[in-house]
Structure 1
């Protein structure tokens, strides 16, 4: 019996049929994870670029419209108009406008206010129009759902209780004299 086992195993050891199938079965899951992560990263980058560009265009309009007070909803709607890649933008976008003093510098607050679909009440943000020659920081936070939340890059995102990750863009400008 041991001779039979020995000959079977030696024959099995020399046989090379099916070795490509084993390599394929081992490597394909890794290739799929890399491919799905690349798609996730590409969509994330496009959404962030659209959000940044929309914010830059709106801030340019704010700087050129000297003396006009803009409301939170107006700025949000204009950013959403330019940032077409953000799904359900008007409900998932939160703005924060902060006035900073150059003489008594406190820095930009590190805590960013974002929406959370799992909460009923949305937090209030700081939104103050600046006076002449004041430094303003406008921060935008958009919540977006990952395409592949359990695979590759989508599984490594910091998500809130609703499963959304944050895209945060910020810019600074000086309020022009009137």
Structure 2
């Protein structure tokens, strides 16, 4: 009498078992997706910080431009203009050293438009003489003026994609640029009341 002996399959090799197992599949997805999410977060932080610096510099430039436009004595020279801008821009470190200012008149042709004819000037951190590129021309009455400010700033995350695209020098710094334009107040445009009693104006014809 014969007895059937069950066939025992040969055990799979360790390499085959490793290829068939599904353990750790979630870890593979995490390793692939996690760097992408981190890069997006870093770009979001960098873009937000860049926008914050731009908004604050833009506001400070408008405030300084108002003093220049009104000629109220708050801005008398290039140094005071930089101090006025940096006083309202608290988020840019070493502001006065890294700020490039262009205040100039814009010639306007009748029937045409006035434009700035060159690229913004920014401080070169590797060239100590680059500050000589500042321009400070207050102009005369009724002249079209333009104030252009460039501040060099270091990025939060220099290795991020956004920071590398915005870089303007070998140190990885990027430029924050803002502009403002206006027309100077006319000279002697208002003839105020003569000194003395205001009622003397109406000696011949009293006010209604």
Q: Shorter-chain TM-score category?
A: 0.7 to 0.9
Other structure's SS at 2:166 match: coil
For 1:20, the equivalent position in structure 2 comes to 26
SS of 1:117 mapped into structure 2: coil
Which residue matches 2:206? none
**TM-superposed deviation, 1:7:** 8.7
1:111 to 119, 123, 130: 119
Alignment of 1:89-100 (within 5 A): 89-100=95-106
Q: Distance in 2 between matches of 1:4 and 1:44?
A: 61
Instruction: Specify the SS of the correspondent of 1:159.
Output: coil
**Higher helix content, 1 or 2:** 1
RMSD between aligned alpha carbons? 2.3
Whether the aligned pair in 2 keeps the contact of 1:70 and 1:129 (CA below 8 Å) is: no
In the alignment, which residue of structure 2 is the partner of 1:130?
Answer: 139
CA distance in 2 between counterparts of 1:35 and 1:69 reads 41
Residue in 2 aligned with 1:54? 60
Give CA deviations for 1:38-58 in whole Å, capped at 9, x if unaligned: 111111000000000001111
Where in structure 1 are there 5+ consecutive unaligned residues? none
Paired residue for 1:176?
185
For 2:153, the equivalent position in structure 1 comes to 144
2:90 aligned partner: 84
Q: How far apart, in 2, do the equivalents of 1:81 and 1:41 lie?
A: 23
Q: Tell me the equivalent position of 1:121.
A: 129
Match of 2:81 among 70, 75, 78: 75
Contact kept, 8 Å, 1:93 with 1:115, in 2: the verdict is yes
Q: What is the aligned length?
A: 175
TM-score, with length taken from structure 1: 0.87
Conserved in 1, the CA contact under 8 Å of 2:163 and 2:174? no
After the TM superposition, which of the residue ranges 85-94 and 150-159 deviates more from structure 2? 150-159
1:41 is matched with 47
- Partners of 1:78 and 1:6 in 2: CA distance: 76
- Per-residue CA deviations over 1:54-111 (Å, capped at 9, x if unaligned) read 0111112222336887311111110100111111101111110121122365631232
Q: Distance in 1 between matches of 2:89 and 2:75?
A: 22
Which residue matches 2:204?
Answer: none
Structure with the larger RCO, 1 or 2 (CA within 8 Å, 6+ apart)? 1
Relative to the length of structure 2, the TM-score reads 0.76
Alignment partners' CA distance in 2, 1:124 and 1:145: 21
